[in-house]
Structure formats: C-alpha cells, structure tokens
Amino acid sequence: MKLHLEHVLSHFGRRRPNESRVNARIESKGWKNNVPSAARIITKWKPSGPIEIAMDSEHIEQLIYSQRWQGLTVMSTLEQGKRVIATRDFQPGEVVCDYHGRVVTAKEGRTIHKTTRLLFYKNCKGISMCIDAHLPKRDCHLEKETFGRLINHSRNHLNLRHRAYRMNYNGEVKDVILFIASKSISVNDELLFDYSVQRKSFNGECLKLCWF
Ligand SMILES: C[S@@+](CC[C@H](N)C(=O)[O-])C[C@H]1O[C@@H](n2cnc3c(N)ncnc32)[C@H](O)[C@@H]1O
C-alpha cells in the first residue's frame, strides 16, 4: 500500500491531481491489491521533488497544452481590471499555471508593440528572450483565454514566483514559464507576481501609474 501511495504521489510531484487523474494512474498500473483510495492520495499530497522533474511531467505538459488549469477564476474590478483569483488552496512549491504565448527574442519583443503582456527572461543559454502574450487566445486553444497574462503585479504581496524551464511541449523542446506558489495560497486570494520593473523603469513612465 505504502509503495503504491508513494509511487502515485511522486508521479504528481508538483501539481495536486484530481480524483479522476489519480484513478487513471492507478488503472494504468493495473494494481489490484493494497491500492489506496484516490481521496487518501490527494489528502497526503504535497509538492515534492526538484522542480525540474515537473518538466518531464506529462500532467504539467497536458495542462500547459490544454490551458485547463483548475483552481483559478478571472474576476474584474474597475481599479485593477481583470484579476486571477484562486478557487482552491495551493501549497508553497506547487505549479499554479504558466505564462503562455509566442516565444520570440527579447529584441523582437521590444519592437512588436510596447504594451504589457510581454514577459522578458533569459533562456538556459543566457539569451534574452520574451514571451509575447498580447493575443488573448492562441492557436493551440482557441476557446480559452490564458490565466498567466491576466495576473497582476505586486512586489510586496506576491504569492507566485516565475521561472523559465525547458520542457517537451507538443513534441518539441520549448521554453516554458511556470508560476510556482511562493507561499500558501488560499481560496479567494488574488494571484500576484513581481513584474520585475521599478517605479523608475521605462524612463520613469511607471511613476505615473497609480497601481504601481
Ligand atoms: C498583464 S496585465 C494584468 C491583467 C490586467 N489587470 C487586465 O485587466 O488585463 C497588466 C496590466 O494590469 C494592470 N495592473 C497590473 N498590476 C496591477 C495592480 N497591482 N493594480 C492595478 N492594476 C494592475 C496594469 O494596467 C497593467 O498594465
């Protein structure tokens, strides 16, 4: 029983599964005896293993591809526009969602348009790159607006950290930005990350922003 439990827990190392995923995993293994219930496995689950392991996870790959990240909803307020709100708890270290868009060089990113919804990062070779998420929907999931591009900024109250990883995505090795919970996130908490810009960034343009 313990071995089965540990096996399933490690399979879902960085993202809490739902019951149907746990049951599918158990079924795929063909176990007949000493099988813990899906509910027990989910209760025992906590983020485990190096985050790099999540990159080999079919579970995370499917969530990125389908954008069916559960546990999140979008709400709007007049002052802050759209905001991404948690509808379930997330534990520190859990993958919450990704920043989804077209991967371009940072140079290209700076020339396309000067709006927000561009996330600049360095890839594993140290090259400056950019995820361009200005389009609300991507070819790969036309019916879904992605969550990552709607997450607001906070330096002092952030609950997500973001980092670029390489992973197999739709048959290719690609850069993917994952948002990981940096602290416990409770139901109704707004998701927030640090955009890594300062009030004086962009020649002081941010000084004028009331939300900054
Ligand atoms: C990536 S979008 C985030 C989603 C955005 N709220 C929306 O309605 O689409 C970035 C824009 O959101 C707004 N924003 C970001 N963080 C904010 C905050 N802490 N308070 C108010 N507005 C914020 C700014 O207008 C910023 O240009």
In this prediction, residue 139 carries a pLDDT of 67
pLDDT tens digits for 24-75? 999 999 998 889 999 999 999 999 988 777 666 788 888 888 889 999 999 9
The total of other beta-carbon atoms located within 10 Å of residue 62's CB is 11
In this prediction, residue 55 carries a pLDDT of 65
In this prediction, residue 3 carries a pLDDT of 82
CA distances (Å), 127 to each of 17, 118, 144, 182, in order?
34, 16, 30, 26
> Residue 118: which residues within 8 A CB-CB, separation 6 or more?
109, 112, 130, 131, 132, 133, 134
Element (H, E) at 65: helix 58-66
Whether 155 lines ligand 1, by a CB cut-off of 6 Å, is: no
Question: What is the DSSP pairing of strand 152-153 with strand 192-193?
Answer: parallel
Mean predicted confidence (pLDDT) in 206-212: 76
Buried b (16+ CB within 10 A) or exposed e, 24-61: ebbeeeebeeebbebeebbeebebeeeeeebbebebbb
Whether 153 lines ligand 1, by a CB cut-off of 6 Å, is: yes
- Please work out, in degrees rounded to the nearest 5, the angle formed at the alpha carbon of residue 121 by the alpha carbons of 189 and 169: 80
For a mutational test of ligand 1's pocket, the pick from 78, 79, 152, i.e. the residue with the most ligand atoms closer than 8 A to its C-beta, is 152
**pLDDT over threshold 70, residue 114:** no
Q: How far is the CA of 38 from the centre of ligand 1 (A)?
A: 38
Q: From the CA of 81, give the closest atom in ligand 1.
A: 8
Cβ(164)–Cβ(175) under 8 Å?
Answer: yes
**pLDDT over threshold 80, residue 206:** no
pLDDT tens digits for 154-182? 989 999 999 898 887 667 888 889 999 99
For a mutational test of ligand 1's pocket, the pick from 73, 79, 85, 116, i.e. the residue with the most ligand atoms closer than 8 A to its C-beta, is 116
The residues that bridge with 164 in the sheet, in sequence order, are 177
User: 19-29 vs 2-11: helix axis angle to the nearest 10?
Assistant: 120
Q: How far is the CA of 79 from the centre of ligand 1 (A)?
A: 9
In this prediction, residue 30 carries a pLDDT of 92
In this prediction, residue 151 carries a pLDDT of 96
The residues that bridge with 175 in the sheet, in sequence order, are 166
pLDDT tens digits for 73-98? 999 998 889 999 999 999 999 999 99
Q: How far is the CA of 123 from the centre of ligand 1 (A)?
A: 25
The total of other beta-carbon atoms located within 10 Å of residue 143's CB is 6
Is the ipTM value over 0.85, yes or no?
yes
In this prediction, residue 94 carries a pLDDT of 96
For 22-63, give the DSSP string.
HHHHHHHHT--SSPPPHHHHHHH----S-HHHHTT-HHHHHH
pLDDT tens digits for 137-160? 666 777 778 899 999 999 899 999
Mean pLDDT of the chain: 88
Domains along the sequence of the chain with CATH: 1-49 (no CATH), 50-208 (2.170.270.10)
How large a percentage of the chain has pLDDT more than 90? Answer: 52
